[in-house]
């Protein structure tokens, strides 16, 4: 068990470019979550997957954002036509379906995005 | 909607001082409550949790009691150490409905402990 892995750790891009982040959850974890954290704030929920199905999306997830989890393993979060307001830390978490909905989410170290 | 409010920081203490970080919540159902800690350069780590009223979560000398009557989950530690310096987040999860599975976080409280 190597924990939740996120890549890259840092991404600097110019406004208008597309970026993609990857999250590798703890093996055998059915659920995967994406959150966004801006400076001085707590993480805000973006979306979550149970296996390969995307079951919930926040209104924060505009049409420029898309997330996938093919085959129910790793996940990618893509932001198209980035804006300066997208600058934030993007966090991924995973949890096991066993134990019910109040199970523990394990977080990766995050990808810090800076849009210039 | 559901929300979590934490005491404003930052909090600065001397080593061995008593710590309290206040957390209150608003929820439409019956949430589970959590404290997560974020050390510099690291991901969020679960510190402790409580799943029903009057439960006490504890870990590493930290404690928090789920108080339904006051909708609170205050974090306490009797004697802090320099290594406790971090950002602390209070959070909740609801069961059922459309909020199923997502964490709702407070804004975080920065704790700095001086020797």
Binary contact (B96, A4; C-beta < 8 A): no
Q: Are B91 and A104 a contacting pair at CB < 8 A? A: no
Radius of gyration of chain A (CA): 14
Q: What is the pLDDT of residue A45?
A: 94
The residues in A 60-89 lying below 8 A from B, measured between CB atoms, are none
pLDDT at B55 over 70: yes
Question: Closest approach of chain A CAs to the CA of B81, in angstroms?
Answer: 23
Is A109 within 8 Å of B102 when comparing Cβ atoms? no
Q: Searching chain B, which residue's CA lies closest to the CA of residue A31?
A: B101
Q: What are the pLDDT digits (tens) for A2-31?
A: 799 999 999 999 999 999 999 999 988 889
**Mean pLDDT throughout B40-50?**
91
Percentage with pLDDT > 70 across chain B = 95
pLDDT tens digits, one per residue of B83-109: 999 999 999 987 655 555 789 999 999
Q: Note the pLDDT of residue B36.
A: 97
| Interface touch B44/A107, C-beta < 8 Å | yes
How far B54 CA lies from chain A's nearest CA (Å)?
17
Higher-scoring residue by pLDDT: A47, A103: A47
Residues 6+ apart with CB under 8 A from B75: B19, B20, B21, B23, B35, B47, B62, B63, B64, B88, B90
Instruction: Name the residue among A4, A43, A95 with its Cβ closest to that of B105.
Output: A43
Mean pLDDT of A35-41: 93
A35/B contact by beta carbon, under 8 A: yes
Q: What is the mean pLDDT of chain B?
A: 92
SS3 letters for B13-46?
Answer: EECCCCEEECEEEECCCCCEEEEEEECCCCCEEE
Contacts of A84 (CB under 8 A, 6+ apart): A15, A115, A116
Is A102 close to B51, i.e. CB distance below 8 A? yes
What is the mean pLDDT of the segment spanning B1-5? 89
Mind listing the pLDDT tens digit for each residue in A53-92?
998 889 888 899 999 999 889 999 999 999 999 999 999 9
- What are the CA-CA distances from residue A22 to residues A4, A39, A95, A97, B111 (Å)? 11, 21, 17, 21, 31
Token output for B63: 């404690």
Q: Do A108 and B43 touch (CB under 8 A)?
A: yes
């Amino acid at each position: 068990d190597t924990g939740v892995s996120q890549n890259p750790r840092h991404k600097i891009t110019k406004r208008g470019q597309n970026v993609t982040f990857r999250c590798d959850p703890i093996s055998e974890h059915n659920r995967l979550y994406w959150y966004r954290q801006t400076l001085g704030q707590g993480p805000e929920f973006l979306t979550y997957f149970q296996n390969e199905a995307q079951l919930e999306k926040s209104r924060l997830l505009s049409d420029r954002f898309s997330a996938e989890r093919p085959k129910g393993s790793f996940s990618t979060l893509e932001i198209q036509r980035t804006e300066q307001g997208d600058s934030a830390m993007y966090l991924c978490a995973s949890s096991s379906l066993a134990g019910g909905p109040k199970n523990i989410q394990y977080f990766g170290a995050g990808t810090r995005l800076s849009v210039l | 909607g559901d929300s979590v409010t934490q005491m404003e920081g930052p909090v600065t203490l001397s080593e061995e001082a008593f710590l309290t970080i206040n957390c209150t919540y608003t929820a439409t159902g019956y949430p589970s409550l959590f404290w997560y800690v974020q050390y510099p350069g690291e991901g969020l780590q679960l510190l402790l949790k409580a799943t029903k009223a009057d439960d006490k979560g504890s870990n590493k000398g930290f404690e928090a009691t789920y108080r339904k009557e006051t909708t609170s989950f205050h974090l306490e530690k009797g004697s802090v150490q320099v290594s406790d310096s971090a950002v602390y987040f209070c959070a909740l999860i609801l069961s059922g409905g459309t909020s199923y599975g997502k964490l709702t976080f407070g804004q975080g409280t920065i704790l700095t402990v001086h020797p």
